[in-house]
């Protein structure tokens, strides 16, 4: 079988993409690109023979490259992804797909125009516990969902925002703060589990950082199904406390913290199933992997899926139109908060 030639631009979070491509049996990590030469030198040491580029345009001229992972600051995602697609490369884009729905749509339009493949990283969908949670929701095991509670209570110090040339916490490059950068994963899970959002009503502020964007948001989310949810994001909660993913239906309730199952209660459910679920997923991905060594998690599953999508000529697991949903919700939260908490309809 042909080995896919893989490239990565942006060696911050992009290092996890490099590792996944390097370890794949179906790919070769061919090239990396970054403006920081020390990162390129580190890549050459870790991946002997890898080609290094400071210029993204120069890297795209390499005809051997099949896929490019775009891992630069969020506000540049669409610009570089479109460039790569127009240069004949498939793309896998880090979250968020971009910082506005309009910019993100440029990736979708380029995907359609070129006929190439575009995937987006939303790796928390592939946390081990999310498979049974999603199945419980979709199968109707929880009945009709009426309530959700989602909260990302994390901590970042000021140094985090000042590192890497200070792009985080800026509207132009980060597109937001705690909600767009940290909580976008949980926004994605919320809409994936509970369905299309009808409206948001929100407040936000800067409470413990010197940044342009917010470090706290609180929202009421209404869904087209009639369900409602609360959503909180913050990078002020020392020392970093929890990520609550809680869904409640007419037949049962499920509560997850990050990737660890905390509650699984189904009306009339099997007591053995409940205890088995809690035991299997109480420690998150590490426990699940121990139970099933073949289970692939995190960024690696989406990098491998992207490689397989190209080899098998199919679409990747998460495509731009799906990823745009969370960006649209986040932008509506910011619009509502800036307008004094009015209800914004999506």
Q: Give the chain's end-to-end CA distance (angstroms, integer).
A: 45
Q: What is the pLDDT of residue 294?
A: 40
Q: What is the pLDDT of residue 286?
A: 58
CATH architecture of 125-293+327-345: 2-Layer Sandwich (3.30)
Q: How far apart are CA 330 and CA 158, in angstroms?
A: 23
Q: How far apart are CA 303 and CA 183, in angstroms?
A: 21
Q: At what angle do helices 184-194 and 130-138 cross, to 10 degrees?
A: 30
Q: What is the pLDDT of residue 297?
A: 59
Q: Please, which residues have CB within 8 angstroms of residue 63's CB and are 6 or more apart in sequence? A: none
Model's pTM, two decimal places? 0.94
CATH topology of domain 4-120: Rossmann fold (3.40.50)
Note whether 117 and 196 are within 8 A (CB).
Answer: no
Q: How far apart are CA 287 and CA 85, in angstroms?
A: 39
Note whether 306 and 94 are within 8 A (CB).
Answer: no
| Token digits of residue 237 | 């909660």
The H-or-E segment that residue 187 falls in is helix 184-194
Q: For residue 57, how many other CB atoms are within 10 A of its CB?
A: 10
Q: How far apart are CA 70 and CA 73, in angstroms?
A: 9
Q: How far apart are CA 307 and CA 335, in angstroms?
A: 37
Domain with CATH 3.40.50.720 in the chain: 4-120
The H-or-E segment that residue 287 falls in is helix 285-291
Q: For residue 210, how many other CB atoms are within 10 A of its CB?
A: 9
| Token digits of residue 210 | 């010197």
Biggest distance spanned by C-alpha atoms of the chain: 61
pLDDT averaged per 10 residues in sequence order, the chain, 346 residues: 93 95 97 97 96 98 98 97 98 97 98 98 93 96 98 96 93 96 97 98 98 98 98 97 97 96 93 90 66 56 97 97 98 98 98
Q: How far apart are CA 15 and CA 12, in angstroms?
A: 6
Domain with CATH 3.30.360.10 in the chain: 125-293+327-345
Q: What is the pLDDT of residue 222?
A: 98
Q: How far apart are CA 19 and CA 27, in angstroms?
A: 11
Nearest CA to 116 among 162, 156, 65?
65
Q: Which residues pair with 155 in a beta bridge?
A: 236
Q: How far apart are CA 177 and CA 169, in angstroms?
A: 5
């Amino acid at each position: 079988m042909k080995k896919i030639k893989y490239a990565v631009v942006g060696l911050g979070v992009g290092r996890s993409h490099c590792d996944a491509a390097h370890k794949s049996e179906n790919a070769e990590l061919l090239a990396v690109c970054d403006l920081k030469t020390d990162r390129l030198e580190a890549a050459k040491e870790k991946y002997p023979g890898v080609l290094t580029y400071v210029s993204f345009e120069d890297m795209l001229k390499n005809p051997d490259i099949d896929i490019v992972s775009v891992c630069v600051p969020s506000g540049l995602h669409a610009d570089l992804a479109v460039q790569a697609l127009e240069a004949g490369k498939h793309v896998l884009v880090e979250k968020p797909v971009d910082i506005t729905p309009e910019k993100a749509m440029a990736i979708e339009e380029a995907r359609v125009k070129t006929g190439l493949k575009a995937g987006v990283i939303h790796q928390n969908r592939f946390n081990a516990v999310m498979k049974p949670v999603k199945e419980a929701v979709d199968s109707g095991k929880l009945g009709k969902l009426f309530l959700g509670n989602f909260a990302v209570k994390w901590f970042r110090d000021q140094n985090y925002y000042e590192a890497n040339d200070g792009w985080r916490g800026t509207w132009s490059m980060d597109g937001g703060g705690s909600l767009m950068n940290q909580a976008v994963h949980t926004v994605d899970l919320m809409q994936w589990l509970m369905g299309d959002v009808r409206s948001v009503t929100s407040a936000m502020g800067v409470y413990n950082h010197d940044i342009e964007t917010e470090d706290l948001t609180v929202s009421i989310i209404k869904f087209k199904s009639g369900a409602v949810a609360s959503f909180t994001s913050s990078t002020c909660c020392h020392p970093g406390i929890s990520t609550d993913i809680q869904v409640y239906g007419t037949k049962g309730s499920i509560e997850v913290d990050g990737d660890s199952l905390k509650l699984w209660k189904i009306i009339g459910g099997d007591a053995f199933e409940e205890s088995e679920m809690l035991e299997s997923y109480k420690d998150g991905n590490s426990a699940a992997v121990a139970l099933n060594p073949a289970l692939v998690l995190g960024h690696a599953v989406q990098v491998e899926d992207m490689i397989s999508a190209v080899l098998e000529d199919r679409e990747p697991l998460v495509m731009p139109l799906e990823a745009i949903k969370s960006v649209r919700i986040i932008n509506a939260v910011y619009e509502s908060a800036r307008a004094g908490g009015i209800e914004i309809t999506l």
